[in-house]
């Protein structure tokens, strides 16, 4: 195939399905074709991908966290009084977004497979930006609930879509660090929301309330971002406009070792059944639920707990700013360690140990001024819990293959995350103030259970690897295969690795359970 033929094929419409023996990377490579990829090529393509795809993921995730979290910072500017909220109505306004996310996940899983990412992502961003800006026009409980419901609805696909995209654009060894970068926007957006609300809240206006200005500004920034995202985003590596034709072919080869298949717009319902029958899928959901239930201790009741140490309201606000910074540091550090050591389970357990220690101290020590130092240290140790989500996300996507299976698994993971965010605050009641010891005790149990689930999942993945090893032997292949997706480079001792012909299997839409060459990672 000469260069002109390749370019014509890449620009043409998708060809009709071919026989299995002819399947390869769709629209760009032929089966049996040899593609040489050096370590310099690998690094160059990865950097180009970071500058476009990772930059978009990071910015959009920042907007998502900011638009969702600005409710708390805006509420200090008399939001409840101006909209006539009474009783538990403010709590319901806060919790309606995760309720919408849980309800929307089945349809979200279908959309992620059927709608090209270049269309889906900017559409989601535009719609939740409109919902965020519309909050400024709300003057009642009904209006706020409606606006927040649609905000949660359109944000529902954000986490599964971002995780799937990270798996499609990066090798498995590279995924934890990239997940940590866009997921670290949780801490960054928390700090920015506080600073932004403080500044915008001081704008004098006879027309708009301070909280209305805040919602209007963050919503408009999100709306303006939508067309830019559509302009810069590409659907997959085979159509990446920021790469040359030759680099796209090398990019496909770069990702071949992932064994997670190619992009597919056919929703295979048999893969949905496989998700339901796969024990590790349900373990992922439980592991998503536990830390997000526990995070309510810091996200919702953290300031109240710190105030119970004997600090006043202003000191409490200041002391929570470095806590947001610690979130960012912990997320990046955890995924960087996972990237360097090529481990996820061990790093996850290691980062949960400080959380267990911190919660145990908060439970054991009396909450008073004489224990302010140890209690504050214990509270900051709890920031390590924010390493759980990005590590789990990269672990899930690295151990799941098949377009529909991955989409459904991530939708279920998001449902577990939302269910945790919804139910976590229920562990705490106003009667527990100021120490909230019953709620803290429950959270301690959650993180101990999380460590236990990680151990069980590791044993399950080891068993699945043994099953695949036996399958390879029965199919006449070598029992042991090298997982090249977990190596850091493509070059050894200055020599280019021997090029291998493009194989069909890595690009077919196979699930991890049906691909005997899939290697589960721990």
- Environment class of residue 408 by beta-carbon count within 10 Å: exposed (0-12), middle (13-18) or buried (19+)? buried
- pTM score of the predicted model: 0.72
- Which pLDDT belongs to residue 9? 42
- Each residue's pLDDT tens digit in the chain (522 positions)? 444 443 344 334 343 333 333 334 444 555 556 778 888 888 999 999 999 999 999 999 999 988 887 776 676 677 878 888 877 677 678 778 888 888 887 788 788 888 999 999 999 999 999 999 999 999 899 999 999 999 989 988 888 888 889 888 998 778 878 888 888 888 888 778 777 777 777 777 778 888 899 899 999 999 999 999 999 999 988 889 999 998 998 888 888 766 554 455 567 788 889 999 999 999 999 999 999 998 878 876 676 677 778 877 566 667 777 887 888 899 888 878 887 887 889 999 999 999 999 999 999 999 888 888 899 999 999 999 989 988 998 899 889 888 788 888 988 888 898 888 878 877 877 678 778 898 899 999 999 999 999 999 999 999 999 998 888 888 888 877 766 555 655 544 334 444 444 444 445 668 888 888 888 988
Residue with tokens 């899939």: 518
CA distances from 140 to 37, 67, 91, 147, 475 (A): 60, 19, 14, 11, 65
- Environment class of residue 512 by beta-carbon count within 10 Å: exposed (0-12), middle (13-18) or buried (19+)? buried
- Which pLDDT belongs to residue 78? 77
- Pair of tokens at residue 507: 């690009």
Peptide bond between residue 241 and the one before it cis (omega within 30 degrees of 0): no
- Which pLDDT belongs to residue 265? 56
Q: What is the largest CA-CA distance in the chain?
A: 78
CATH number at 268-478: 1.20.1250.20
Same-fold call for 37-258 versus 268-478: yes
Helix, strand, or coil (residue 9) = helix
Angle between helices 89-114 and 403-423 (to 10 degrees): 180
Peptide bond between residue 47 and the one before it cis (omega within 30 degrees of 0): no
- Pair of tokens at residue 269: 């319902």
- Which pLDDT belongs to residue 519? 87
- Which pLDDT belongs to residue 269? 83
> How far is residue 345's CA from residue 494's CA, in Å, rounded to a whole number?
32
Domain residue extents for the chain: 37-258, 268-478
Quick one: CATH architecture of 37-258? Up-down Bundle (1.20)
Residue with tokens 């559509």: 230
């Amino acid at each position: 195939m000469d260069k002109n033929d390749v370019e014509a094929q890449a620009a043409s419409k998708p060809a009709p399905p071919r026989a299995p023996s002819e399947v390869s990377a769709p629209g760009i490579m032929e089966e049996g074709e040899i593609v040489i990829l050096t370590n310099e090529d690998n690094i160059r393509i990865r950097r180009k991908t970071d500058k476009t795809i990772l930059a978009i993921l990071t910015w959009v995730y920042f907007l998502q966290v900011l638009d969702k979290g600005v409710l708390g910072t805006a509420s200090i500017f008399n939001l409840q009084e101006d909209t006539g909220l009474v009783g538990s109505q403010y709590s319901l306004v806060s919790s309606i977004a995760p309720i919408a996310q849980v309800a929307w996940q089945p349809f979200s899983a279908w959309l992620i497979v059927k709608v090209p990412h270049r269309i889906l992502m900017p559409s989601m961003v535009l719609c939740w930006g409109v919902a965020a800006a519309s909050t400024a026009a709300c003057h009642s409980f009904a209006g706020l609930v409606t606006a927040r419901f649609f905000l949660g609805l359109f944000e529902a696909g954000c986490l599964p879509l971002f995780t799937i995209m990270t798996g499609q654009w990066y090798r498995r060894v590279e995924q934890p660090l990239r997940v940590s970068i866009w997921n670290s926007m949780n801490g960054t957006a928390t700090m920015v929301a506080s600073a932004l609300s403080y500044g915008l809240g001081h704008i004098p206006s006879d027309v708009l309330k301070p909280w209305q200005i805040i919602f209007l500004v963050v919503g408009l920034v999100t709306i303006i971002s939508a067309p830019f995202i559509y302009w810069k985003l590409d659907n997959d590596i085979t159509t990446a406009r920021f790469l040359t034709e030759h680099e796209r072919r090398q990019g496909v080869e770069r990702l071949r070792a992932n064994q997670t298949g190619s992009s597919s717009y056919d929703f295979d319902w048999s893969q949905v059944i496989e998700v339901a029958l796969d024990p590790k899928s349900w373990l992922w959901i439980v592991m998503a639920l536990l830390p997000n239930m526990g995070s309510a201790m810091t996200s919702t009741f953290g300031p109240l707990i710190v105030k119970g140490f004997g600090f006043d309201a202003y000191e409490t606000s200041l002391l929570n700013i470095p806590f947001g910074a610690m979130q960012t540091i912990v997320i990046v550090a955890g995924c960087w360690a996972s990237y360097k050591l090529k481990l996820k389970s061990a790093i996850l357990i290691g980062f949960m140990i400080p959380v267990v220690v911190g919660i145990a101290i908060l439970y054991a020590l009396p909450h008073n001024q004489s224990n302010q130092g140890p209690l504050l240290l214990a509270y900051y140790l709890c920031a390590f819990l924010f390493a759980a989500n990005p590590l789990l996300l990269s672990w899930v996507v690295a151990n799941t293959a098949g377009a529909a299976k991955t989409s459904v698994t991530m939708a279920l993971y998001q449902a577990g995350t939302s269910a945790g965010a919804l139910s976590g605050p229920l562990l705490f009641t106003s009667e527990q103030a100021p120490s909230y010891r019953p709620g803290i005790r429950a959270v301690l149990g959650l993180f101990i259970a999380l460590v236990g689930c990680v151990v069980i999942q590791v044993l399950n993945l080891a068993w699945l690897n043994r099953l695949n090893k036996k399958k390879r032997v029965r199919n006449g292949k070598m029992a042991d295969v090298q997982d090249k997706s977990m190596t850091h480079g493509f070059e050894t001792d200055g020599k280019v690795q021997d090029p291998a012909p493009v194989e069909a299997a890595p690009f077919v839409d196979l699930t991890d359970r049906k691909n005997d060459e899939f290697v589960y990672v721990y």
